[in-house]
Amino acid sequence: MADTRDHGPVDFRTEPAKYRHWRLSFDGPVATLAMDVKEDGGLRPGYELKLNSYDLGVDLELYDAVQRLRLEHPEVGAVVVTSGKERVFCAGANIRMLSQSAHGWKVNFCKFTNETRNAIEEATAESRQTWLTAVTGPCAGGGYELALATDWIVMADDGNTAVSLPEVPLLAVLPGTGGLTRLVDKRRVRRDRADFFCTTEEGVKGRRAVEWGLVDEVVPRSKLDETVRGRARELAARTDRPAGVPGIVLAPLARTLEGDRITYSTVACAIDRERGLAEITVNAPAAAPPAEAAGVHAQGCAFWPLALARELDDLILHLRTNEEAIGVWVLRTAGRADLVEACDRLLAAHTDDWLLREIRLYLRRTWKRLDVSSRSIFALIEPGSCFAGTLLELALAADRSYMLDGTRAGDARGRATLRLTGMNFGAYAMVNGLTRLGSRFLAEPGRVEKLRARIGEDLDAAAAAEAGLVTFTPDDIDWDDEVRLALEERAAFSPDALTGMEASLRFGGPETIESKIFARLTAWQNWIFQRPNAVGAKGALQVYGTGQRSEFDRRRV
């Protein structure tokens, strides 16, 4: 099985010098990201990555490239995704990898891939770094889903090149990384045409692909490079990203793994395997931030909000992928609220600075990754905590929060408090498009505006409960027992039931493309990946390529 029980942990930290599957090049305001997957470079043994098919190892390099293009290259206004192979664009997720992988690995692989696709779309929409795709050769399944995440698709009209989503007829599963949703919600493909497209193996090519809205342009192969270069420069010219300033360097992320402890500069995690939980502590900055944006540029990746985003992002990915049995994450914070608030003021004040914008967006992506993780999340707010502004989002993201009412005997730190800042009112939207405060108070939207008047105020347990910002406020006498029982109870429930319950409760309100992908699509894919029609002995995913016919249970469920 391709999972971490049989192999070492997956490390999501990489850099361009270590890429095995992507080539990154630059031509002024245009970057090109060429997919050239190394056949024998699979993350796990037992399969070959033929025809530019991919596994998690390919995707984690793509995710790293997305981050670096946004933060290290402000001069880049357009990114071209293309194939480094002559006769194929991408055959999608590797079928042998999927067929031999454990169920949880498949689902987490799809989730991470979805998050990376969403980051590409965010780069276009929010960072003004437009992504486009040049398709040469067959572009199938996850390969076409990658193209769908970009803003413009140019396809060669050469008889060999086609786009397809063949998962239903070939594998008895769904396109797992947003293809169905993006067809009808993003590209507005007509439902009847989408239905035909998703049930034909050979796909669609040429003028029909443009007419149906599956791609934006088809051009003769001989003119493809020229057309793509022109289109990319045209799109790059629309950016507001600065051309004449340096980016920052994303230095290798320092992390220490010692037994069941994981330590970064701002984040620490202790795993309690007996209780099935990870205790995560996020530390506030140790010093005041720079006074101006220029100081942030000088600090680069050492600037506390950016360090926090990178480190917590890596920890979430590490725990999700390598610690499947640790089902409860307990969030704590420590430090000075005034220093967090100072960072928040700096982030909010420079809306026209490209780097500060990228840092805000990176934090938003990290909070979203927390939201969609299939783990129970509890926040504990105690004396010495620092749930302020950006760090308050951790408590608002939790399934439940406990705040100590009063002080502890012999503890000179005083009462626990919460503090709202302007960053809680729009900077960190969830996948449903609402802030966490907006999602919290769906029944009382006016309460969010009333809370604006309390920005900067330290709210103790009574005030936080009255404001609706915490779940329970036990005193010192009841705290230990109440928290212990809550965590023990949570760890005792069925993980499957909790995953479904949490995903259903976390994203109330409106639907967006992202919420559909992470709620509806993930739920269906999670179910279909376990059905005998797909993964049974005669299921389509198991017999693919063997010459045998799949056998289906014909009952509709």
**Residue 197: both structure tokens together:** 């497209």
Pairing outcome for strands 400-403 and 376-381: parallel
The tally of domains found in the chain comes to 2
* One domain, residues 270 and 328: yes
Predicted structure pTM score: 0.95
**Residue 491: both structure tokens together:** 């760890």
* One domain, residues 302 and 163: no
User: What angle do helix axes 103-125 and 354-371 make, rounded to 10 degrees?
Assistant: 150
The CATH number of residue 455's host domain is: 3.90.226.10
Question: What pLDDT score was predicted for residue 2?
Answer: 42
Tell me the sheet residues that pair with 277. 272, 328
Contact between residue 26 and residue 68 where contact means Cβ atoms under 8 Å apart = no
* One domain, residues 145 and 213: yes
Q: Is 282 contained in some domain?
A: yes
Of 361, 388, 380, 527, give the one whose Cα is nearest residue 458: 388
* One domain, residues 270 and 168: no
The residue type at 548? Q
Q: Is 536 contained in some domain?
A: no
> What is the residue range of 475's domain?
256-505
Of 261, 249, 392, give the one whose Cα is nearest residue 315: 261
Q: Which helix (H) or strand (E) segment is 380 a member of?
A: strand 376-381
* One domain, residues 272 and 229: no
Of 394, 416, 262, give the one whose Cα is nearest residue 330: 394
* One domain, residues 403 and 485: yes
176 backbone dihedrals φ, ψ, rounded to 5°: -95, -5
Rounded distance between C-alpha atoms, residue 357 and residue 220, angstroms: 39
Question: What pLDDT score was predicted for residue 480?
Answer: 95
Output the tens digit of pLDDT for each of the chain's 557 residues: 344 445 689 999 999 999 999 999 999 999 999 999 999 999 999 999 999 999 999 999 999 999 999 999 999 999 999 999 989 999 999 999 999 999 989 999 999 999 999 999 999 999 999 999 999 999 999 999 999 999 999 999 998 999 999 999 998 998 888 999 999 999 999 999 999 999 999 999 999 999 999 999 999 999 999 999 999 999 999 999 999 899 999 999 999 999 999 999 999 999 999 999 999 999 999 999 999 999 999 999 999 999 999 999 999 999 999 999 999 999 999 999 999 999 999 999 999 999 999 999 999 999 999 999 999 999 999 999 999 999 999 999 999 999 999 998 888 888 999 999 999 999 999 999 999 999 999 999 899 999 999 999 999 999 999 999 999 999 999 999 999 999 999 999 999 999 989 989 999 999 999 999 888 787 888 888 888 988 899 988 889 888 899 999 898 88
Alpha helices, H only, 283-380: 293-299, 304-322, 337-349, 354-371
Pairing outcome for strands 418-419 and 376-381: unpaired
Q: Which of 236, 270, 294 is the last residue of a domain?
A: 236
Other C-beta atoms lying within 10 Å of the C-beta of residue 250: 17
Strand stretches in 212-302, DSSP E: 217-219, 256-258, 261-263, 267-272, 277-283
* All residues at 6 or more sequence positions from 499 whose CB lies less than 8 Å from its CB, including other chains: 374
Q: Which of 484, 505, 526 is the last residue of a domain?
A: 505
Coil/strand/helix, residue 407: coil
Question: What pLDDT score was predicted for residue 28?
Answer: 95
* One domain, residues 63 and 174: yes
Handedness of CA 516, 154, 88, 540 (dihedral sign): positive
Residues composing the chain: 557
Question: What pLDDT score was predicted for residue 292?
Answer: 95
Q: Which of 204, 236, 268 is the last residue of a domain?
A: 236
**What count of Cα atoms within 13 Å lies in the side-chain half-sphere of residue 338?**
2
Q: Is 549 contained in some domain?
A: no
Q: Is 11 contained in some domain?
A: no
Contact between residue 283 and residue 333 where contact means Cβ atoms under 8 Å apart = yes
The residue type at 20? R
- From edge to edge, which strands make up the β-sheet containing 458-459? 387-388, 418-419, 458-459
Contact between residue 19 and residue 61 where contact means Cβ atoms under 8 Å apart = yes
* One domain, residues 497 and 409: yes
DSSP code, position 50: G
Contact between residue 270 and residue 278 where contact means Cβ atoms under 8 Å apart = yes
Q: Is 529 contained in some domain?
A: no
Rounded distance between C-alpha atoms, residue 228 and residue 152, angstroms: 10
Question: What pLDDT score was predicted for residue 41?
Answer: 95
128 to 7, 146, 166, 176, 510: CA distances (angstroms): 40, 19, 32, 27, 25
* One domain, residues 214 and 329: no
* One domain, residues 359 and 452: yes
Q: Is 7 contained in some domain?
A: no
**Residue 302: both structure tokens together:** 């050492």
Alpha helices, H only, 126-214: 142-149, 167-171, 179-181, 191-197, 206-211
Contact between residue 264 and residue 306 where contact means Cβ atoms under 8 Å apart = no
Q: Is 429 contained in some domain?
A: yes
Tell me the sheet residues that pair with 419. 388, 458
Rg (CA), the chain: 24
* One domain, residues 415 and 385: yes
DSSP code, position 182: I
- Give the distance from CA 213 to its chain's centroid: 27
* One domain, residues 92 and 40: yes
Rounded distance between C-alpha atoms, residue 332 and residue 395, angstroms: 9
- Give the distance from CA 549 to its chain's centroid: 37
Q: Is 216 contained in some domain?
A: yes
Contact between residue 93 and residue 176 where contact means Cβ atoms under 8 Å apart = yes
Rounded distance between C-alpha atoms, residue 88 and residue 241, angstroms: 33
